[in-house]
């Protein structure tokens, strides 16, 4: 188990929360990767009856926003709309699903590295293209975003027939 330290600075605490929401040891319950462990391509691609997003589409969406936030940390003003916000699934094979999950893992690891490389004073700077919020709020928002979608994935899994 990973133990946070009172000696951590705020950037390290945020990175720890990002890791917990994504990998595990989150207070609320299962994190994103814990929920995806037993999901295959067919379950990931299955669309819910209400026309909402599939697990796969949510995975692509989380990855898109992890990348956008990483680019914002790099100084770029980024907005995601349409297929950039929810990238389409394309081929729904097991190989493509494994690649999507690996891309998600790689992108999240890169986001955490970008966060850890930030000097703490930057947390209070405005995000590029967003005059009214700072990095501190954006990064906490990413944690909330991942947990929100973890909840959606958990619900989608419960509505699917057992395999």
Total count of domains within the chain: 1
- Amino acid 6: pLDDT: 64
CA atoms within 13 A of residue 1's CA, in its CB half-sphere: 6
- Amino acid 152: pLDDT: 96
3, part of any domain: no
- Amino acid 28: pLDDT: 84
- Amino acid 100: pLDDT: 98
Provide the domain limits for residue 27. 10-36+51-159
123, part of any domain: yes
2, part of any domain: no
- Amino acid 1: pLDDT: 52
146, part of any domain: yes
- Amino acid 16: pLDDT: 96
Q: What is the 3-state secondary structure (H, E, C) of the chain?
A: CCCCCCCCCHHHHHHHHHHHHHCCCCCCCCCHHHHHCCCCHHHHHCCCCCCCCCHHHHHHHHHHHHHHHHHHHCCCCCCCCHHHCCCCCCCCCHHHHHHHHHHHHHHHHHHHHHHHCCCHHHHHCEECCEEEEEHHHHHHHHHHHHHHHHHHHHHHHHHCCCC
Give the CATH number for residue 104.
1.20.120
- Amino acid 4: pLDDT: 57
42, part of any domain: no
Model-level pTM?
A: 0.93
- Amino acid 26: pLDDT: 84
61, part of any domain: yes
| Low-confidence spans in the chain with pLDDT less than 50 | none
15, part of any domain: yes
- Amino acid 160: pLDDT: 86
44, part of any domain: no
- Amino acid 131: pLDDT: 83
- Amino acid 3: pLDDT: 63
């Amino acid at each position: 188990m990973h133990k946070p330290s009172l000696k951590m600075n705020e950037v390290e605490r945020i990175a720890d929360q990002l890791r917990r929401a994504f990998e595990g040891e989150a207070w609320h319950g299962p994190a994103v990767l814990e929920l995806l462990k037993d999901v295959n391509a067919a379950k990931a691609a299955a669309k819910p009856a209400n026309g909402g997003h599939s697990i796969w589409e949510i995975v692509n969406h989380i990855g898109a926003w992890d990348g956008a936030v990483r680019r914002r940390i790099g100084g770029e003003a980024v907005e995601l709309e349409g297929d950039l916000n929810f990238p389409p699934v394309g081929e729904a094979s097991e190989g493509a699903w494994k690649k999507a999950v690996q891309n998600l893992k790689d992108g999240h690891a890169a986001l955490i590295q970008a966060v850890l490389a930030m000097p703490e004073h930057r947390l209070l700077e405005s995000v590029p293209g967003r005059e009214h919020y700072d990095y501190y709020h954006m990064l906490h928002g990413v944690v909330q975003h991942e947990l929100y979608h973890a909840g959606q994935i958990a619900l989608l899994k419960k509505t699917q027939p057992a395999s």
